[in-house]
A and B are shown apart, each in its own frame.
Chain A
Amino acid sequence: MSSQFVQFLIAGINAGAIYALIALGFAIIYNASHVINFAQGEFVMLGGMMTVFLLALGMPLPIAVLLAIAATAVAGMVLEKLAIEPARGASVVTLIIITIGASILLRGLVQVAMGRNFHRVPPFTGDDPIPVLGAALLPQNLWVCGVTVLAVLALRWFFTRTMWGKAILATSHNRLAAELVGINVRLVMLVSFGLSGALGALAGVLIAPITLTHANVGIMLGLKGFCAAILGGLGNFPGAVAGGLVLGLAEAMAAGYLSSQYKDAVAFVLILAVLFFLPGGLMGRGSTERV
């Protein structure tokens, strides 16, 4: 393996992990409510920007990170309570526009509070690159991958082993039936949005030390996370993770070997090809397997 290839591999897995986290956020909300949350990218932005804000207040990094994730989870719940729940039963297009409105609102709020500049979050544990097969691995890359794996495992546990996770799954399979067996569906929706916000913020906090963060960082990240979610089959959790990794790797390899200019187009070319030939996504439609 050439060192160049290893370098692209690192970049691909790193980006893929971030896309996977964002795609999981899309999948959770979609399963609970059949809403595509176009504000998912703003959760990513909020995670990074709030960390910057809290650090500026003089908080230590770990506390700032945890608080930023918690605050974004609350933002997700507020979004559900104020904008999604009142529009219950509206058409797909209407709900899409509501979440787009929410994303514009969130970007506007952050721009007013913190301006349009780029901000840096310090890496969690230093930034001396670790040499691996001739390529440079940043400690932050390890954080990204490690935390993503932990988050995926934790989600798996949550959805298969806890009452809350099972309630969410039940609601996603059949809302009415879930209500009939006594599940508080409104609370399930609220928890789903909170969880999704936390996952988005986690992605934002993890990536901010590598790529910098700013008020508009969420637009492209959100769209690519949406690509990853669709790639794996909408609402399919393992599919979302696989979709994120495939997307990140394809993007890194295309940027390295084909054209770095068209890096951002890779995700969308890939998704169009998949939709044209496999309209149900990589993992197939109607797959009953759900983690």
Chain B
Amino acid sequence: MRLRGLMQARTGGLLALALVIAVLPLALPNNFYYQVAVLVGLNAIVCVGLNLLIGYAGQISLGHAGFFGLGAYASAVLTAKFGWPAPLALVAGATGVALLAFVLARPILRLKGHYLAMATLGMGIIISIVINQEIPLTGGPDGMPVPGFALFGLRLTGDRTWYWIVGGLLLLSVWLSLNLIESPVGRAFRALHGSEVAAETVGIDTARFKVLAFVVSAVFAAVAGSAFAHFAGFVTPVEAQFLRSIEFVTMVVFGGMASVFGAVVGAAVLTALPQILTAFHDYEMIALGVVLIGTMILMPRGMLPSLAALTRRWMR
């Protein structure tokens, strides 16, 4: 019985992820690989949140890099220009993004399909243009340096330290979203994805749940953005730009919608892939385009669910 409990996606998956995070450093030969691993972790945090919105609540967002960028720049500006302590800046950034997402959520999530895609896309682009243009505050297209993260006088520096911090944050975000999905809220989410009308007829306040998914995913993105700013020590508007939003959505869909670990796998593959492909230099974009089209045609449900179905067939 215990063993079967462990095999459940919720606990078993979380343990497996913890194990991977704990063991992975043995396979990381130098700091460069640690950096890639940290970036994978940060993208995975955004994707786990975004997956709640796309995979479970069934709402697309093409603007989440805006929230990531706002988190990053909140930390950067508040610590560098106003001398705030880093943890306070992170909380302020996350709170600000939560408020913004909450205010925008009602009018935006009333829209459907392509109109929703357009609205979220527009929101993200406006945020990135503001970051680009408010040069006195953000440094504009050149970006700005970010001071290190100090917690109770302890400065967090070095790629290895950040590896463990981001690993912990990732576990926390996976744990939070797994709990959310297994709760009545999560069941409401899935009902929403299945059919909004049906969900409403059984008494689910669909609007409230969509807003919740939107706000939670925005906060995940903002926190990841803050962590990224301190880890990288420098932020540029590239972090908030449209193509970044697309990357996030792609990672979620690539890994497998409505699968928390799929989102993590998607983030890992698509973050690491360009790093590997730098060997091919100019052909990087071509390869990325082909991989995206190919995966979506051959495995429309995403990598992890398709592979899981395949292994299940093999086991039989």
The reply on A227 being an interface residue by CB < 8 A is yes
B99 to chain A, nearest CB (A): 18
| Chain B: interface residue total (CB-CB under 8 A) | 43
Chain A residue nearest in CB terms to B62: A96
Say whether B293 contacts A223, CB under 8 Å: no
Quick check: which of B77-85, B120-128, B200-208 contacts chain A, the rest being far away? B120-128
Say whether B300 contacts A90, CB under 8 Å: yes
Q: Chain B interface secondary structure, helix, strand, loop or mixed?
A: helix
Quick check: which of A106-114, A121-129, A145-153, A194-202 contacts chain B, the rest being far away? A106-114
Chain A residue nearest in CB terms to B104: A272
Contacts of A230 in B (CB 8 A): 114-115, 118
The reply on B284 being an interface residue by CB < 8 A is yes
Say whether B285 contacts A108, CB under 8 Å: yes
Q: Chain A interface secondary structure, helix, strand, loop or mixed?
A: helix
A138 to chain B, nearest CB (A): 27
Say whether A275 contacts B111, CB under 8 Å: yes
Cα–Cα, bound, A98→B249 (Å): 12
Say whether A100 contacts B60, CB under 8 Å: no
B residues 271-306 near A (Cβ < 8 Å) are 282-293, 296-297, 300
Say whether A98 contacts B297, CB under 8 Å: yes
B114, B121, B286 — most chain A CB neighbours (10 Å): B114
Chain B residue nearest in CB terms to A267: B122
Known: A272-B123, A279-B115. A90 touches B285 (CB 8 A): no
A residues 247-277 near B (Cβ < 8 Å) are 261-262, 264-265, 267-269, 271-272, 275-276
User: Which residue of the partner chain, among A101, A108, A265, contacts B126 with CB atoms under 8 Å?
Assistant: A265
Proximity string of chain A (113-135) to chain B, C-beta cutoff 8 Å, 1 when within and 0 when not:
00000000000000000000000
Cα–Cα, bound, A271→B120 (Å): 11
B246 to chain A, nearest CB (A): 6
Q: What are 11 A-to-B residue pairs whose CB atoms are below 8 Å?
A: A87-B297, A90-B300, A91-B300, A93-B54, A94-B253, A108-B283, A234-B115, A261-B133, A271-B122, A275-B111, A276-B107
Which residues of A pack against B, CB within 8 Å?
A: 30, 36, 82-83, 86-87, 90-94, 96-98, 100-109, 111-112, 219, 223, 226-227, 230, 234, 261-262, 264-265, 267-269, 271-272, 275-276, 279
For the complex with contacts A93-B249, A275-B107, 7 further pairs of A-B residues with Cβ separation under 8 Å are A96-B60, A101-B296, A112-B283, A223-B121, A262-B129, A268-B122, A269-B126
